[in-house]
Amino acid sequence: MGRILAVDYGQKRIGLAVSDELKISANGLDTIHVREIHNYIRNYIRDNEVDTLVVGLPKTLDNKASESTPFVENFVSWLKNTFPSIPVIRIDERFTSSMAFQTMIDSGIGRKARRDKALIDKISATILLQSYMSTL
C-alpha cells in the first residue's frame, strides 16, 4: 500500500505533506525551493511507494484562476508526464495559508516562528492532504 503525497505549489517555495501507508494521517514532510521540486519528487517516489499525488489548485475568492494557476498547471503536466501511472488530483487550496497560520496560533507557536513561511507552506500542504483524505 502506498502513500498520498500532497504538494502546496508556490512560486518560490513548495510545501509537501505525506500520508501514512494506511492513509489515516497526514504529516508535514518538507518545504523546498521551487527549483528543487523535480529532483525531490523523483527521489521521493523512487524511494517510497506513492499511490496518489494531490496538488493544490490556486483560485481567487470568486473561484477564478489566480496568477499562480499557470505555474501549477505546468507542474501538474510535468507530474502526469513523468509519473503516468500515478493519478494526480487537484484540490482547491483557497484559505489553506490562513488555516495554517491559525493552526500555528492554536498550537501555541510563538510569533517569531509564525513568520516562518516555510512552516506555513508545510502546514498548508498537510491541510490540503487532510482535506483530500476526508473525501476517501
Beta strands 88-92 and 13-19 are: unpaired
pLDDT at residue number 111: 63
Residues in the chain, total: 136
pLDDT at residue number 110: 63
Q: What is the pTM of this model?
A: 0.83
Instruction: Give the confidence band of 10 by pLDDT, cuts at 50, 70, 90.
Output: confident
For the chain, the structural domain boundaries read 3-133
Q: Which CATH superfamily is domain 3-133 in?
A: YqgF/RNase H-like domain (3.30.420.140)
> Of residues 36 and 63, which shows the higher confidence score?
36
pLDDT in tens, 59-106: 766 767 667 788 999 999 999 999 999 999 998 865 555 555 555 555
| Average pLDDT for 33-52 | 97
pLDDT in tens, 119-135: 677 888 998 998 899 88
pLDDT at residue number 61: 64
pLDDT at residue number 33: 95
- Sequence-distant (≥ 6) Cβ neighbours of residue 31 within 8 angstroms: 13, 14, 15, 16, 118, 119, 121, 122
> Of residues 12 and 110, which shows the higher confidence score?
12
CB 97 within 8 A of CB 114: no
Beta strands 50-57 and 3-9 are: parallel
**What does 66-103 look like in DSSP terms, one character per residue?**
-TTHHHHHHHHHHHHHH-TTS-EEEEE-TTHHHHHHHH
